[in-house]
Amino acid sequence: MAHIDPPGGDGRPAVPSSTTATTTVTMATPAVAGVNTTPAAPTALARCAAVDPAKFAADHWGRSPLLSRAAELPNRNGFTDLFSPADADELLSRRGLRTPFLRVAKDGELVPAARYTGGGGAGAEIGDQVLDEMVLQLYADGATLVLQGLHRTWPALVDLARDLTAALAQPTQINAYLTPAGSQGFATHYDTHDVFVLQVDGRKHWRIHPPVLPDPLERQPWGGLADEVSATAEGRPALDVVLAPGDALYLPRGWLHSAQAQESSSLHLTVGVRALTRYAMVEELLALAAEEPRLRSGLPLGVDLADPDAIEPELTETVEALRDWLLRADPAAVAARLRDRAWPASRPAPIRPLAHAAALAALTADSRVGPRQGLRWQLTPTGDAGRVALRLFDRTITLPGTCEPALRAVLTGEVTRVGDLPGLDDDADRLVLTRRLLREAVLTPA
């Protein structure tokens, strides 16, 4: 039997060594990577946009808004299966919600959290729990309630975010906006990420204007251009539309928008897509540029930093040094930094710790397992002969190289029965490897 790792003192297999990912990877053979998706992943985008993915990518993504009416979308029953007013009431009243999972806005301003939070009573002496009676008063007075981070707290939206993240290959987040009849939570503004608006209940009037700053970065919020935003909002909108239940609207980042509930209260979901930009690549390139000695050298002693003429030759030298270094930049190193930046932004599917532990204890060669949905992974050889690295969103696991065929088979879903894992000597080895991957939440019981 090939050696994988000795069991721990309690008779359970030891947890593998884990390290943070390094910037560069020495590889003797090509790496293989993947993200495990559900069959629902291809349909997640179809719920939000009434055009095929290729047309959406070519004509709308990052370019122009897209209005999709309920009759054009596959689920004619709208979005109440994802989240409903009754679901919102349950969150606000029975789930011990805390800030920042709730924000409240009125007349374009955020309401201080102290006005709707407090202690939870005996046994829950936390000072920032949402108080339902305070929320009632604010909502009845016209305030908009913003339920944040629903991609982490509400099961149907956890699944939607995971599947949409897989379909777009971009991290997503989901908030819900509950607005009383006739009210408007926020003034005209823009977001620094793309959004899909899914109208769940009621009707809401949207006014959309072109960007005052195309493709804004996260460090470029609309508040810095408030005058330009206000002036543009006075003009004729590019899109003036009322969303009814089941309608969807895509807005690229930077497009100005405001929304007002109509004759009844409104509930809509906002799916934010936090795409990486070329500027993010520049940031990672500059971080790697610290390897260049010419860029680490100091400016001349006594140089007048306020004198453009004195700075000009130093700037020229710096630009030349940077250009020379950029021409030698290693794509593998840049990819590694972008991976470490992007992967943690999207968590894989939740696991059930108690059921997972029970399956681990009962594992046999006939047990069936599968890769954790939404898990991003990369399998590469290491610099250490005979070892293989399994890179995950938050750590790297090193294993004997003999495990590589089994790892590839189980991570890609080609093999589900433990006893069928290829490349290992016997079932004892297969069980040790599978227990390790279950303990690391790489695999889940099928």
Which CATH number do you get for residue 413?
3.90.930
The pLDDT assigned to 31 comes to 65
Torsion-angle region of 347 (φ positive above 0: left; ψ -120 to 50: alpha; else: beta): beta
CB 64, CB 248: distance < 8 Å: no
Question: What is the structure's pLDDT at 77?
Answer: 85
**Sign of the Cα pseudo-torsion (137, 139, 145, 147, in order):** positive
Q: Is the pLDDT of residue 45 over 80?
A: yes
Residue 219 lies in domain: 41-273
Is a pLDDT exceeding 70 seen at residue 376? yes
Instruction: Please say if the pLDDT value at position 29 is more than 60.
Output: no
Task: Evaluate if residue 15 carries a pLDDT over 60.
Answer: no
Nearest to 387 by CA among 34, 29, 9, 35: 29
Is the same domain home to 128 and 259? yes
- What pLDDT does 122 receive? 85
* E strand or H helix at 267: strand 266-273
- Any idea which of 7-16, 146-155, 214-223, 395-404 has the lowest mean pLDDT? 7-16
List Cα–Cα distances, 125 to 59, 128, 129, 136, in angstroms: 52, 9, 9, 22
Beta bridge partners of 13: 7
Segment 175-193, tens digit of pLDDT: 999 999 999 888 899 999 9
| 121 and 264 part of one domain | yes
Within a domain: residue 132? Answer: yes
- 6 assigned to some structural domain: no
Give the C-alpha distances (Å, rounded to integers) separating 445 from 355, 422, 426.
Answer: 9, 19, 21
pLDDT score at 19: 41
Q: What is the mean pLDDT of residues 116-143?
A: 91
- Kindly list the distances between the CA atom of residue 55 and the CA atoms of 65, 196, 417, in Å, as whole numbers in the listed order: 13, 16, 40
- Only one residue has tokens 């003999």, namely 402
Q: Are 48 and 248 in contact (CB under 8 A)?
A: yes
- Compute the chain's Rg from CA coordinates: 26
Whole-angstrom distance, CA of residue 354 vs CA of residue 352: 6
Mean pLDDT of 343-352: 92
342 belongs to a structural domain: no
Based on the domain organization, do 269 and 289 belong to the same domain? no
On whether both 166 and 207 belong to a single domain, the answer is yes
Give the N- to C-terminal CA distance of the chain in Å, as an integer. Answer: 26
Looking at per-residue pLDDT, the higher value among 204 and 76 belongs to 204
Average pLDDT over residues 432-437: 97
pTM, entire model: 0.86
Over residues 77-96, the pLDDT tens digits come to 899 999 999 999 999 999 99
Beta strands in 98-224 (DSSP E): 102-106, 109-110, 117-118, 129-130, 144-147, 172-179, 194-201, 204-209
Model confidence band, residue 427 (pLDDT cutoffs 50, 70, 90): very high
The mean predicted confidence, pLDDT, of the chain is 90
Residues 168 and 287 reside in one and the same domain: no
- Same domain, yes or no: 239 and 95: yes
Question: CA 72, CA 117: separation in Å to the nearest integer?
Answer: 41
Residue 295 within any structural domain of the chain: yes
Number of domains in the chain: 3
Is residue 11 in a domain? no
pLDDT tens figures, 214-243: 999 999 998 889 999 999 999 999 999 999
pLDDT(12) > 70: no
User: Are both 187 and 51 inside the same structural domain?
Assistant: yes
Contacts of 340 (CB under 8 A, 6+ apart): 21
In a domain, 105, yes or no: yes
* Model confidence at 27: pLDDT above 60: no
CB 377 within 8 A of CB 443: no
pLDDT over 70 at 319, yes or no: yes
3-state helix, strand, coil in the chain (%, to 5): 35, 20, 45
Is residue 8, in this structure, part of any structural domain at all?
no
The SS3 assignment for 377 reads: strand
Characterize 29-47 residue by residue with b for buried, 16 or more Cβ atoms within 10 angstroms of its Cβ, and e for exposed.
eeeeeebbbeebbeebbbb
Asked if 397 and 322 sit in the same domain, the reply is no
> Minimal CA–CA distance to 98: which of 122, 138, 80, 125?
125
Q: How confident is the model at residue 285 (pLDDT cuts 50, 70, 90)?
A: very high
Residues 353 and 287 in one domain: no
Q: Could you tell me the CA-to-CA distances from 39 to 161, 166, 305, 317 in Å, in that order?
A: 14, 11, 59, 54
Residue 1 has pLDDT above 60, yes or no: no
| % of the chain residues with pLDDT over 70 | 92
Contact predicate 280/286, CB 8 Å: no
Give the pLDDT mean for 125-149: 94
User: Of 405, 407, 401, 406, nearest to 388 (Cα)?
Assistant: 401
Asked whether residue 12 is assigned to any structural domain, the reply reads: no
318 and 372 assigned to the same domain: no
Residue 318 and residue 406 share a domain: no
User: Given a cut of 90, is residue 133 above it in pLDDT?
Assistant: yes
Report how far residue 196's alpha carbon sits from residue 2's, in angstroms, rounded to the nearest whole number: 51
The CATH number linked to 213 is 2.60.120.650
- The verdict on 24 and 49 lying in the same domain is no
Alpha helices, H only, 81-123: 85-94
